[in-house]
C-alpha cells in the first residue's frame, strides 16, 4: 500500500492582485509542504507582503485560489485564521501594554483559560529572553525585543503554520542570529514556516525551498542548491593602489572586468581556495600585487540578474 | 461555546485592553472630564447671573441657573467622551496589533466593541464627576432614586449612540486630528439645543433646528427626570434618536472595519 502524499500546508494557484492599475501579483503558484521552511525571496515591491496578506486572509485576491491548512482563504477565512500565526513587517504588538500583558491578551483571544494562558506566556517570555522586561511596556523595547515579543504572540496560540514577513529586516547581526535560531526551532517543532526575505543568505540558511519573486511573478523555485546552480559563480574583487597597477593586472588577467570609477578589478571565481590561489598566482608570476582582495559570493543582486536579466528594481506599492 | 458567547468573551478581553490603555495614557480621559467641568464653571460662574435673569420663567421656580444647565452639560460630557473615542480608535487603527487581530479567529468587531464599552465606562465616570461639581455649584436635583436610575439610563443611551458614531469617525479619518475634526460636529451641536437656553427664546429658523435635532429631546428628558420639568414627548423622541444613531453608527463602523487591512 502506498502512503498518500500529504496535502500541502499552503497551496496557491494563479494568485492575482492589483491596486488600481498597478499589478502587484501576476499569477502566482506556490506549494509548501507541511513542517518545512519556505522562503519567498525578492526585492521591495516584488509582491512579498501582498502574498502574505492574501494567504493570511488580510486581503482578498482578485484572481486565483489559495488553500491554507486545507481551507480556502476566501471561503473559510476563520478556519484559516484558527490555524495560522502571522508576524508582519511592522511590529504587531500593543505598545501601551507590557510584554506579559501582550501575551496574556493573545492567550485570552485564543480562549486558553487563565492558568494555561499564564503558563504559556511565562514559557514564551523565558524562551525569548524577555522575562526581565516582562513588566515593562512594549513601547520601551528595542527592535530585537519587539520582534521577539511579536513572534511570541504569534506562537502562543499554537499555530500549525506561521507567516513571517521579513522577520530580520532592520535587526542587528546578533538579533538576526537569534531570530534564525528561533525559526529553526519552530520548524523542528513541526510548524510550517512561510517567510519572506530580501536576503539570499537568510533564505539559504533557513529554507528547504525558495521561490524567487520578481514584479509579481515567481521567476524561479527550488532548493537553495538548485537555485545557486543557476547563478554564475561569484567573483574576486582586487583593489589596487593606483591606475598603473590596475592596468598591468588587467592585462595579465584577461577575463577581468573593471568596476566603474574605482581602482577595482572583478575576476570571475567560485570562491574556492583553489580559484583564489589561481588568480593570485597569475598576478605573482608578473610580480604584481593587489592592495586588497575580497571574495564575493553570489547575493540577491546576482540571483536577480541571472534569473531575470535585469537588475533589482524597486516598485512602490500602496498597501 | 456558541458564537455569541465567544463574541462576548472577546469583547470583554478587548475592553480590558482598553481599560489598561486609559490607565497608561490618562490624558484623554482627563481632557474629556475637564471640558464639561469648564463649561459648568464658565456658564454658572461667569455668565450665570445674566442667563438666569434672561431665562425668567423657563427655570424652575426659585432655582439657580445651574439647575437648568446641569442636564445639558451632562449630555456634553457624553459628547466630549465620544470625541476622545474617535481619536483613540483612530490611533489604535494605526497600531500594528490591529492587523494581527484581523488574522486571528476572533469575533470580528470585538476590538470596536471593547472601545465602545471602554468609552461608555469612562463617560459614566465623567458623568458622576460632572454631577458632583454641579452639586458643588448649587445644583439641587429633585429626582427620586428611580428617576436617577432612569437618568443614568438616558445618559448611557446617548453615550452609546454617540460613541458608535465617533468610532466610525475614527475609522473614517486618516489621522487622529482628522478624527477629532469630524467629531466636532457632535461637540458643537448641543450649543444649538436646549442645553443653555430654552428653544423658545431662539429666532424661528434656529428654533426649528434646535427642536428637531437629537440633543434637545435627550436634554429635555434628562432635565425632566432630574429637576421635574415637563418631559412630554421628549422621552419617546430621545429613545428613538438614540436607538437610530446607535444602529447607524454600529453598521457604519462595522462596514468601515471590514473594508480591508488597516494601515
Size of interface A-B (CB pairs under 8 A): 68
pLDDT value, residue A310: 63
d(CA A10, CA A8): 5
pLDDT value, residue A5: 60
% of chain A at pLDDT higher than 90: 47
Question: A120-143: string of b/e by CB count within 10 Å (b at 16+)?
Answer: bbeebbeebebeebbeebbeebee
Average pLDDT for A178-207: 92
Chain B residue numbers with beta carbons less than 8 Å from the beta carbon of A154 are 100
The model's confidence at residue A318, banded by pLDDT at 50, 70 and 90, is: very low
Interface test with A, best of B6, B21, B24, B105 (most A CBs within 10 A): B105
The model's confidence at residue A6, banded by pLDDT at 50, 70 and 90, is: low
pLDDT tens digits, A239-274:
888 888 888 888 888 777 776 667 888 887 777 788
The domain ranges of chain A are 10-93+158-229, 235-297
Per the CB < 8 Å rule, is B95 touching A137? no
Q: A98: which strand partners? A: A137
Our CA angle for A53, A59, A61, nearest 5°, is 100
Helix (H, G, I), strand (E, B) or coil at A290: coil
Cβ B87 vs Cβ B21: under 8 Å: no
Min mean pLDDT across A140-149, A301-310, B147-156, B227-236 is at A301-310
Pure H helices in B26-144: 27-40, 48-55, 65-93, 96-102, 110-136
Average pLDDT for B213-226: 94
Chain B residue numbers with beta carbons less than 8 Å from the beta carbon of A93 are 96-97
% of chain B at pLDDT higher than 70: 95
Does pTM top 0.80 for this prediction? no
**B20–chain A nearest CA distance, Å:** 7
HSE-CB at A277 with a 13 A cutoff on CA atoms is: 3
pLDDT tens digits, B75-123:
999 999 999 999 989 988 887 788 888 888 888 889 899 999 999 999 9
Per the CB < 8 Å rule, is A109 touching B10? yes
**A185–chain B nearest CA distance, Å:** 22
Per the CB < 8 Å rule, is A88 touching B100? yes
Q: Of the ranges A80-89, A222-231, A249-258, B22-31, which is most confident?
A: A80-89
Q: Which fold has domain A10-93+158-229?
A: Rossmann fold (3.40.50)
Q: Give the residue among A168, A181, A192, A148 at the shortest CA–CA distance from A56.
A: A192
Per the CB < 8 Å rule, is B13 touching A91? no
Average pLDDT for B136-140: 90
pLDDT value, residue B56: 66
Min mean pLDDT across A44-48, A295-299, B147-151 is at A295-299
pLDDT value, residue B261: 55
Helix (H) / strand (E) element for A267: namely strand A264-268
The 10 Å Cβ neighbour count of residue A20 is 7
Q: Which three cell numbers stand for residue B94?
A: 494605526
Mean of the per-residue pLDDT values of chain A: 86
> Which residues does A contribute to its contact with B (CB < 8 Å)?
53, 56-59, 78-79, 81-82, 84-86, 88, 90-97, 101, 105, 108-111, 137, 153-154, 157, 319
pLDDT tens digits, A40-63:
998 888 899 999 999 999 889 999
**B25–chain A nearest CA distance, Å:** 8
ipTM above 0.85, yes or no: no
Q: Which of B1, B20, B105 sits opposite A81 (nearest CB)?
A: B105
pLDDT value, residue A33: 93
Cβ B17 vs Cβ A94: under 8 Å: yes
Chain A residue numbers with beta carbons less than 8 Å from the beta carbon of B97 are 92-94
Above 50 in pLDDT, residue B263? no
Q: In what order do the strands lie in the sheet with A192-197?
A: A84-87, A161-165, A192-197, A37-41, A209-214, A217-222
Q: CATH code for A235-297?
A: 3.30.70
pLDDT tens digits, B159-200:
999 999 999 999 999 888 999 999 999 989 999 988 888 888
Amino acid at each position: 500500500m502506498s502512503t498518500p502524499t500529504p496535502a500541502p500546508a499552503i497551496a496557491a494557484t494563479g494568485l492575482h492582485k492589483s491596486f488600481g492599475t498597478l499589478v502587484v501579483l501576476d499569477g502566482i503558484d506556490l506549494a509548501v509542504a507541511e513542517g518545512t521552511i519556505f522562503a519567498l525571496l525578492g526585492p521591495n515591491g516584488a509582491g512579498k507582503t501582498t502574498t502574505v496578506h492574501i494567504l493570511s486572509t488580510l486581503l482578498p485576491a482578485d484572481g486565483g485560489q489559495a488553500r491554507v491548512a486545507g481551507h480556502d482563504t476566501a471561503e473559510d477565512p476563520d478556519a484559516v485564521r484558527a490555524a495560522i500565526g502571522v508576524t508582519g513587517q511592522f511590529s504587531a504588538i500593543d505598545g501601551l501594554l507590557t510584554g506579559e500583558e501582550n501575551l496574556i491578551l493573545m492567550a485570552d483571544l485564543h480562549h486558553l483559560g487563565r492558568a494555561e494562558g499564564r503558563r504559556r506566556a511565562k514559557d514564551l517570555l523565558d524562551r525569548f529572553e524577555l522575562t526581565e522586561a516582562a513588566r515593562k511596556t512594549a513601547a520601551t523595547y528595542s527592535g530585537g525585543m519587539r520582534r521577539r515579543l511579536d513572534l511570541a504572540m504569534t506562537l502562543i496560540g499554537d499555530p500549525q503554520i506561521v507567516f513571517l514577513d521579513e522577520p530580520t529586516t532592520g535587526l542587528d547581526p546578533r538579533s538576526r542570529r537569534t531570530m534564525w535560531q528561533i525559526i529553526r526551532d519552530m520548524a523542528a517543532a513541526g510548524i510550517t514556516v512561510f517567510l519572506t526575505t530580501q536576503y539570499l543568505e537568510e533564505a539559504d540558511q533557513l529554507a528547504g525551498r525558495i521561490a524567487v519573486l520578481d514584479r509579481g511573478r515567481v521567476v524561479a523555485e527550488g532548493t537553495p542548491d538548485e537555485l545557486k546552480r543557476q547563478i554564475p559563480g561569484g567573483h574576486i574583487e582586487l583593489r589596487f593602489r593606483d591606475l598603473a597597477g590596475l592596468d598591468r593586472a588587467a592585462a595579465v588577467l584577461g577575463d577581468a572586468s573593471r568596476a566603474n570609477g574605482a581602482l577595482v578589478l572583478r575576476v570571475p571565481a567560485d570562491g574556492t581556495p583553489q580559484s583564489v590561489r589561481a588568480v593570485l598566482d597569475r598576478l605573482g608570476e608578473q610580480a604584481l600585487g593587489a592592495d586588497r582582495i575580497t571574495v564575493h559570493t553570489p547575493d540577491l543582486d546576482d540571483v536577480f540578474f541571472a534569473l531575470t536579466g535585469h537588475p533589482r528594481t524597486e516598485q512602490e506599492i500602496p498597501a | 461555546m456558541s458564537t455569541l458567547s465567544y463574541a462576548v468573551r472577546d469583547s470583554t478581553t478587548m475592553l480590558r485592553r482598553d481599560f489598561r490603555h486609559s490607565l497608561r495614557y490618562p490624558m484623554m480621559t482627563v481632557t474629556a472630564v475637564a471640558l464639561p467641568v469648564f463649561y459648568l464653571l464658565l456658564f454658572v460662574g461667569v455668565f450665570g447671573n445674566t442667563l438666569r435673569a434672561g431665562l425668567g420663567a423657563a427655570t424652575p421656580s426659585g432655582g439657580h441657573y445651574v439647575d437648568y444647565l446641569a442636564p445639558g452639560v451632562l449630555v456634553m460630557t457624553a459628547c466630549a467622551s465620544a470625541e476622545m473615542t474617535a481619536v483613540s480608535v483612530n490611533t489604535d487603527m494605526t497600531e500594528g496589533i490591529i492587523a494581527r487581530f484581523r488574522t486571528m479567529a476572533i469575533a470580528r468587531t470585538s476590538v470596536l466593541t471593547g472601545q465602545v464599552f471602554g468609552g461608555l465606562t469612562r463617560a459614566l465616570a465623567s458623568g458622576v464627576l460632572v454631577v458632583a461639581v454641579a452639586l458643588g455649584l448649587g445644583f439641587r436635583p429633585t429626582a427620586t432614586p428611580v428617576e436617577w436610575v432612569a437618568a443614568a439610563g438616558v445618559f448611557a443611551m446617548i453615550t452609546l449612540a454617540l460613541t458608535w458614531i465617533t468610532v466610525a469617525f475614527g475609522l473614517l479619518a486618516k489621522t487622529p486630528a482628522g478624527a477629532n475634526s469630524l467629531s466636532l460636529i457632535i461637540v458643537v451641536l448641543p450649543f444649538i439645543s436646549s442645553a443653555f437656553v430654552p428653544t423658545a427664546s431662539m429666532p424661528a429658523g434656529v428654533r426649528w433646528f434646535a427642536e428637531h435635532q437629537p440633543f434637545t429631546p435627550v436634554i429635555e428628558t434628562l432635565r425632566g427626570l432630574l429637576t421635574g420639568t415637563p418631559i412630554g414627548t421628549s422621552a419617546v423622541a430621545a429613545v428613538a434618536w438614540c436607538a437610530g444613531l446607535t444602529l447607524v453608527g454600529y453598521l457604519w463602523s462595522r462596514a468601515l472595519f471590514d473594508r480591508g487591512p488597516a494601515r
